[in-house]
């Protein structure tokens, strides 16, 4: 099937992932396969293991046992190079906005002319054209997160992980981020995003992974999970979420 | 950033190291604080340097340290004032030959109030005895310098071991002549000093000369070429020219002409 | 005391009317200490950064040793460098004793631990903040060193200035290895020591005033930079 659609990113598979600390099980995922085209949103209450799962998928944390594979291969340097991640609090280098992008482009081995061209494109994509020379640390929260996303996209990843990127932002800034995420998705970048905002899940998700207590309680098409959840845990979370 | 640092550092290091690698020949003289503090070298060296083009670099420390530095080979010429030690230095093979250069004298200075009543005397031994009996404050160099060695010799002659009283009336500063004079001035103590340092000293406060003219207070300076056979790096030719000049007519005349407030500080007596 | 005041103002006027000999001494002091600090930075910063990011047995011990060396007595440093550079020492053939280079070396021994220790602190804090992000971007530990050093540049300038403060104000080491030779290795602090021992307290104090002026200027720069660094760091805290 993927052979017929070459632009489709390869599948991410998780088998028997387990992490526990001090006798407490933090993550216990029997199996998860992400090979659909649309954005996947990981939903669940605080402490349900969403961010931990994301870090395992990106290879930032090694699980106690179990394995993450991309297209059937374990996560090596080559696989990780095809991934990028945006954190809840953007960690921007203490340099100018364009230097933050240039840092990644240089690592890609692009020459000066190509880099300059790419920076212009990226800044336009994030609406930061007039901030190029400004210190990245002087950006507003929304601008900083947009820059973090642009920097993640600069390496042209197949998969983009986002860990609650809008949790500290106002609705306007959130909307701009969501548009960027959708545009990236439509260009064929696989989006895997953690959120606890049900409205955001409804706006963005093609499929939803619902988590509770370190386990995946439900994984399915967004409409189905949101409107007719199968598990009690999902129902409880969605009911509580709707009240908020 | 780091590349720029290195570049700047290398360029600048070349500049700073310049004097060390200059083509101008130079010698290092290990000498004493008394000759330096009195201003003698600043006065006589320009003549020698103009005549020969040899830059004379003076390291001024106590006689004891100067001798040890010379033994380590860290100097080409030794010019100090403790004849027995100088002769030992030559006898041990560290120096080539010792020459008399000049002399001046030691003097006993102390507070105008003069608690030990030694003023006007010309006998250093009875003055020291009186100070010890009165337990009047006395500032000693305590640094193994030529002046310190001379002072200890006089205490030995009157059979007093002042170090028994160390910390009470006998204070060992462990410092140069000028620093010890500052201490004596500050606490109203007696001290033995060479006349040259005293004459050029600017912070006398209440101190004045109390005892002088005792032949025992004679202070002889000698000069020695550091043995090039012990240390290959010794700049023997230039150093020998300096010694020849110092004990020759030009150097001796230059020393004799150094005067502060009408008083001659050093008396040339090379043979 | 009135006499002293007159002498002091005379000494100050000597300095500020451009007495060439005095200014040569001030310039030599600056040259020696600036160079010592720059070379120390080239050595101390990568060492400090490496200690911040690398994990190896004995690392804790090295950090403790480095912090202890920050307070090493200058006289002992002077003595050690003298023993190395003396003609009867292992590096005697280089003929460096009693040269400005010897003073630079002694000051480097004093300054490198300061710069390395402060760099380690600064970089370790920054590395904690950057760690996940840099790993996500595929930057290895080793490759992260220049990134961290560059991004910590403001705080590192503070470390440089702290090192400079120690170097320029130090007398015990440079007087031993430099020899306080007129026109060659006589710097501000050794001149102050010499003039004090000659009883020329006014001149010594006037030179001290210049040294204090430099110290104030350096500290003003440190605090201005620290303030700027703090402001930048606090945004998005």
B45 lies in a domain?
yes
Render pLDDT for C169-217 as a digit per residue (tens, 0 to 9): 999 999 999 999 988 999 999 999 988 888 888 888 888 988 899 888 8
Q: Which of C88, C93, C100 sits opposite B16 (nearest CB)?
A: C100
The C-alpha of A154 sits at a distance from chain C's nearest C-alpha, in angstroms, of: 11
What is the overall mean pLDDT for chain A? 90
- Hey, is the C-beta of A30 within 8 angstroms of any chain C C-beta? no
Average pLDDT, chain B: 90
Q: Is residue A223 part of a domain?
A: yes
Q: Are residues A238 and A164 in the same domain?
A: yes
What's the structural domain count of chain B?
Answer: 2
Q: For A3-30, write each residue's pLDDT tens digit.
A: 444 445 568 899 899 999 888 889 998 8
Return the beta strands (E) in chain A as ranges. Answer: 12-21, 24-34, 40-43, 65-70, 73-74, 83-86, 159-163, 190-195, 207-212, 215-221
Which residue among A58, A77, A137 sits closest to C232, beta carbon to beta carbon? A137
What is the rounded CA–CA span in Å between residue B48 and residue B245?
A: 7
Domain shared by A100 and A123, yes or no: yes
Boundaries of every domain in chain C: 2-234
- pLDDT tens per residue across span C13-50: 877 777 788 888 999 999 999 999 999 999 999 999 99
Inter-chain residue contact A138 with C151, CB threshold 8 Å = no
Query: Is A87 in the C-facing interface, judged by CB distances under 8 Å?
Result: yes
Pair B83, B98 in one domain:
yes
Final residue belonging to a domain, choices A138, A171, A206: A138
How do B26-32 and A83-86 pair as beta strands? unpaired
Residue at a domain's end among A115, A138, A161: A138
Instruction: For residues A42 and A71, state if they share a domain.
Output: yes
Give residue B21's pLDDT band: very low, low, confident or very high (50, 70, 90): very low
Q: Are residues B163 and B196 in the same domain?
A: yes
Nearest CA in chain A to C140: A77
Contacts 24+ apart (CB under 8 A), C166-169: C166/C110, C166/C111, C166/C114, C167/C32, C167/C33, C167/C36, C167/C37, C167/C107, C167/C110, C167/C111, C168/C29, C168/C30, C168/C33, C168/C211, C168/C214, C168/C215, C168/C218, C169/C211, C169/C215
Of the ranges A207-216, B2-11, C226-235, which is most confident?
Answer: A207-216
Closest approach of C43 to chain A, Cα-based (Å): 23
Q: What is the CA radius of gyration of chain C?
A: 21
Assign domain C2-234 one CATH number from 3.40.50.2300, 1.10.3720.10, 3.30.470.20, 2.40.40.20. 1.10.3720.10
| Shortest Cα distance, chain B CAs vs residue C139, angstroms | 19
How large is the average pLDDT for residues A111-133? 94
- CB of A155 within 8 Å of a chain C CB? The answer is yes
Clarify whether residues A37 and A151 are in a common domain: yes
Q: Does B11 touch chain C (CB under 8 A)?
A: no
Q: Which domain holds residue B263?
A: 23-103+220-268
Give me the CATH number covering residue A190: 3.40.50.300
Give chain B positions within 8 Å (CB) of C41.
5
pLDDT in tens, C121-177: 999 999 999 999 999 999 998 899 999 999 998 889 889 988 998 999 999 999 999
Q: Work out the minimum CA distance from C183 to partner chain B, whole angstroms.
A: 9
One domain, residues B77 and B142: no
Q: How far apart are alpha carbons A226 and A220 in whole angstroms? A: 9
Quick check: A144 and C236 CB within 8 A?
Answer: yes
Asked whether the beta carbons of B242 and B29 are under 8 A apart, the reply is yes
Q: Is A6 within the bounds of a domain?
A: no
Q: Which residues of C touch A (CB under 8 A)?
A: 129-130, 132-133, 135-139, 147, 150-154, 232-233, 235-236
- pTM, to two decimals: 0.81
pLDDT, residue C234, reads 46
* Least Cα separation, residue C150 to chain A (angstroms): 8
Report, as an integer, the average pLDDT of B57-81.
94
* Residue A84 distance to chain C (closest CA, Å): 6
Q: Which residue from A234, A204, A209, A236 is spatially nearest to A220, judged by alpha carbons? A: A209
Q: Quick one: tokens of A30?
A: 């029997």
Give the residue from B238, B255, B259 showing the smallest Cα distance to B57: B238
Domain check: are A153 and A32 in the same one?
Answer: yes
Using CB atoms, pick whichever of C136, C152, C235 lies closest to residue A58.
C136
Neighbors of chain B by Cβ distance (3+ pairs < 8 Å)? C
> Are B120 and B96 part of one and the same domain?
no
Instruction: Specify the number of domains making up chain A.
Output: 2
- Whether residue A2 lies inside any domain: the answer is no
Please indicate, yes or no, whether residues A175 and A232 belong to a single structural domain of this protein: yes
Interchain contact A93–C (C-beta under 8 A):
yes
Q: Which residues of chain C neighbour B141 with C-beta distances below 8 Å?
A: none
Of the candidates C57, C53, C72, C218, which has an alpha carbon nearest to the alpha carbon of residue C121? C53
Cβ C123 vs Cβ C53: under 8 Å: yes
- Kindly report, residue by residue over B134-177, the tens digit of the pLDDT: 999 999 999 888 899 999 999 999 999 999 998 899 999 988 88
Q: Which residues contact B189 (CB under 8 A, 6 or more apart)?
A: B110, B111, B136, B137, B138, B139, B171, B183
Q: Domain end: B217, B234, B254, which one?
A: B217
Which of the residues A54, A75, A91 would you substitute to probe the C interface, choosing the one with the greatest number of C C-beta atoms within 10 Å?
Answer: A91
Domain residues for the domain of A170 are: 12-92+141-243
Q: What local confidence, expressed as pLDDT, does residue A1 receive? A: 41
End residue of a domain, out of B217, B243, B259 = B217
CB contact under 8 A, C200 and B74: no
- Residues in B closer than 8 angstroms to C97, CB to CB, are 74
Q: Are B1 and C95 inside 8 Å of each other by CB?
A: no
pLDDT tens digits for range A64-107 = 999 899 888 888 888 888 999 999 999 999 999 999 999 999 99
Q: CA A62, A68, A73, A75: dihedral to nearest 10 degrees?
A: -30
pLDDT at A105: 96
Residue C66: Cβ within 10 Å count: 21
Q: Is B72 contained in some domain?
A: yes
List of chain A residues whose C-beta atoms are within 8 Å of the C-beta of residue C132: 55, 60, 87, 91
| Residues A63 and A100 both lie in one domain | no
Taking CA A55 as the corner, what is the angle to CA A51 and CA A61, rounded to the nearest 5 degrees? 125
Measure CB to CB from residue A91 to each of C133, C139, C232 and give the nearest one: C133
Domain assignment present for residue A3? The answer is no
- Distance (Å) from the alpha carbon of C134 to chain A's nearest alpha carbon: 9
Chain B residues in contact with C42 (beta carbon < 8 A)? 2, 5-6, 9
Which of A77, A93, A137 comes nearest C236 by C-beta? A137
Same domain for A86 and A167, yes or no, is yes
Q: Which residues of C touch B33 (CB under 8 A)?
A: 197
Alpha carbon C99 to chain centroid distance? 18
Q: State the Cα–Cα distance between residues A69 and A57, nearest whole angstrom.
A: 8
Give the model's pLDDT for residue B17.
47
Does residue A60 share a domain with residue A26? yes
Predicted confidence (pLDDT) at residue A116 exceeds the cutoff of 70:
yes
Pair A192, A203 in one domain:
yes
Nearest by CB to residue B178, choosing from C87, C92, C197, is C197
Q: What's the CATH code of the domain at B239?
A: 3.40.190.10
Tell me, yes or no, whether B4 lies in a domain: no
User: Would A7 be classed as within a structural domain?
Assistant: no
Mutate to test the interface with B, among C197, C205, C206 (most CBs of B within 10 A): C197
On the question of pLDDT at C55 being above 60, the answer is yes
Residue B11 above 90 pLDDT?
no
Q: Give the minimum alpha-carbon distance from C130 to chain A in angstroms, rounded to a whole number.
A: 7
Predicted confidence band of residue A242 (pLDDT cuts 50, 70, 90): very low
- Compute the nearest-CA separation of C159 from chain A (Å): 18
pLDDT at position C49: 93
Mean pLDDT of C85-113: 94
Residue A5 pLDDT: 47
Are residues A100 and A126 both part of a single domain? yes
Residue of A nearest to C232 (CA): A137
pLDDT of residue B270: 92
Which tens digits make up the pLDDT trace of C32-41? 999 999 999 9
Inter-chain residue contact C98 with B19, CB threshold 8 Å: no
CB contact under 8 A, C86 and B175: no
Residue A127 lies in a domain: yes
- Of B116, B136, B139, give the one whose Cα is nearest residue B126: B116
Q: How far is B35 from chain C (nearest CA, A)?
A: 11
Asked if residue B87 belongs to a domain, the reply is: yes
Inter-chain touch C235–A84, beta carbons under 8 Å: no
CB within 8 Å: C236 and A90 = yes
Chain A residues whose CB is inside 8 A of the C125 CB are: none
Is the pLDDT confidence value at A51 over 50?
yes
The domain boundary, picked from B196, B217, B238, lies at B217
Token readout for C219 is: 């500290």
User: Which of A54, A94, A109 to substitute to test the interface with C, most C CBs within 10 Å?
Assistant: A94
Is the residue at B262 inside a domain? Answer: yes
Strand locations in chain B, DSSP E?
26-32, 55-61, 77-80, 95-111, 138-140, 170-172, 191-194, 207-211, 218-226, 259-260, 263-264, 267-268
Residue of C42, C101, C182 with shortest CB distance to B20? C101
Question: pLDDT by residue (tens digit) across B242-258?
Answer: 999 999 999 999 999 99
Question: Which residues in chain A touch residue C133, judged by CB atoms under 8 angstroms apart?
Answer: 87, 91
Contacts of C136 in chain A (CB under 8 A): 58, 60, 84-85, 87
Write down the pLDDT at residue B19.
Answer: 44
ipTM above 0.90, yes or no: no
Cβ atoms of residues A153 and A84 within 8 Å: yes
């Amino acid at each position: 099937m993927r052979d017929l659609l070459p632009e489709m990113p390869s599948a991410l598979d998780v088998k028997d992932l387990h992490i526990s600390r001090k006798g407490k099980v933090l993550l216990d995922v029997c199996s998860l396969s992400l090979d659909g085209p649309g954005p996947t949103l990981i939903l669940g209450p605080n402490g349900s293991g969403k961010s931990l799962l994301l870090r395992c998928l990106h290879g930032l944390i090694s699980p106690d046992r179990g394995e993450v594979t991309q297209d059937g291969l374990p996560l090596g340097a080559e696989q990780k190079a095809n991934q990028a991640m945006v954190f809840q609090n953007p960690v921007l280098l203490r340099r100018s906005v364009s230097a933050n992008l240039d840092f990644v482009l240089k690592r890609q081995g692009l020459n000066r002319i190509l880099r300059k061209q790419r920076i212009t494109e990226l800044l336009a994509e994030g609406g930061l054209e007039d901030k190029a020379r400004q210190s990245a640390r002087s950006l507003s929260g929304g601008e900083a997160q947009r820059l973090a996303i642009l920097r993640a996209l600069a390496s042209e990843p197949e998969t983009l992980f986002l860990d609650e990127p809008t949790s500290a932002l106002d609705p306007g800034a959130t909307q701009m981020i969501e548009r960027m995420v959708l545009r990236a998705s439509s260009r064929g970048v696989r989006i895997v995003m953690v959120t606890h905002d049900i409205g955001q899940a409804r706006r963005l998700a093609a499929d939803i992974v619902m988590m509770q207590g370190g386990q995946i309680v439900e994984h399915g098409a967004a409409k189905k999970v949101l409107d007719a959840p199968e598990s009690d845990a999902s129902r409880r979370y969605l009911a509580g979420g709707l009240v908020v | 950033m780091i590349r720029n640092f290195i570049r700047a550092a290398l360029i600048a290091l070349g500049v700073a190291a310049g004097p060390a690698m200059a083509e101008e020949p130079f010698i290092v003289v290990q000498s004493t604080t008394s000759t330096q503090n009195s201003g003698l070298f600043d006065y006589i060296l320009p003549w020698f340097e103009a005549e020969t083009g040899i830059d004379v670099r003076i390291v001024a420390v106590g006689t004891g340290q100067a001798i040890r530095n010379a033994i380590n080979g860290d100097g080409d010429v030794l010019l100090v004032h403790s004849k027995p030690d100088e002769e030992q230095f030559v006898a041990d093979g560290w120096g080539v030959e010792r020459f008399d250069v000049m002399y001046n004298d030691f003097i006993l200075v102390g507070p105008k109030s003069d608690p030990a009543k030694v003023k006007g005397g010309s006998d250093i031994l009875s003055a020291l005895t009186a100070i010890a009996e009165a337990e009047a404050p006395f500032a000693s160099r305590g640094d193994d310098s030529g002046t310190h060695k001379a002072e200890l010799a006089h205490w030995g002659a009157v059979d007093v071991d002042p170090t028994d009283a160390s910390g009470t009336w006998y204070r060992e500063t462990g410092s140069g002549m000028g620093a010890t004079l500052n201490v004596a001035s500050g606490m109203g103590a007696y001290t033995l000093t060479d006349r040259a340092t005293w004459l050029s000293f600017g912070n006398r406060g209440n101190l004045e000369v109390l005892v002088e003219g005792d032949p025992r207070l004679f202070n002889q300076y000698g000069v020695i070429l550091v043995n090039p056979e012990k240390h290959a790096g010794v700049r023997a030719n230039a150093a020998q020219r300096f010694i020849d000049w110092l004990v020759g007519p030009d150097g001796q005349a230059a020393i004799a002409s150094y005067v502060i407030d009408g008083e001659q500080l050093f008396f040339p007596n090379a043979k | 005391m009135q006499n002293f005041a007159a002498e002091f103002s005379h000494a100050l006027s000597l300095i500020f009317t451009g007495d060439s000999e005095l200014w040569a001494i001030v310039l030599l002091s600056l040259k020696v200490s600036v160079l010592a600090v720059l070379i120390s930075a080239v050595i101390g910063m990568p060492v400090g950064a490496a200690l911040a990011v690398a994990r190896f047995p004995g690392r804790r011990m090295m950090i403790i040793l480095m912090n202890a060396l920050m307070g090493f007595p200058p006289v002992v440093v002077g003595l050690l460098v003298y023993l190395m550079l003396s003609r009867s020492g292992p590096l005697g053939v280089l003929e460096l004793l009693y040269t400005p280079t010897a003073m630079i070396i002694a000051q480097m021994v004093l300054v490198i631990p300061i710069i390395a220790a402060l760099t380690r602190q600064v970089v370790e804090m920054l590395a904690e903040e950057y760690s996940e992000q840099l790993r996500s971007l595929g930057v290895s530990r080793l490759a992260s060193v220049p990134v961290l050093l560059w991004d910590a540049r403001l705080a590192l300038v503070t470390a440089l200035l702290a090192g400079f403060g120690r170097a320029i104000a130090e007398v015990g080491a440079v007087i031993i290895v430099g020899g306080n030779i007129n026109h060659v290795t006589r710097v501000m602090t050794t001149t102050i020591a010499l003039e004090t021992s000659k009883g020329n307290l006014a001149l010594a104090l006037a030179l001290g005033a210049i040294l204090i002026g430099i110290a104030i200027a350096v500290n003003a720069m440190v605090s201005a930079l620290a303030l700027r660094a703090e402001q930048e760091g606090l945004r998005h805290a």
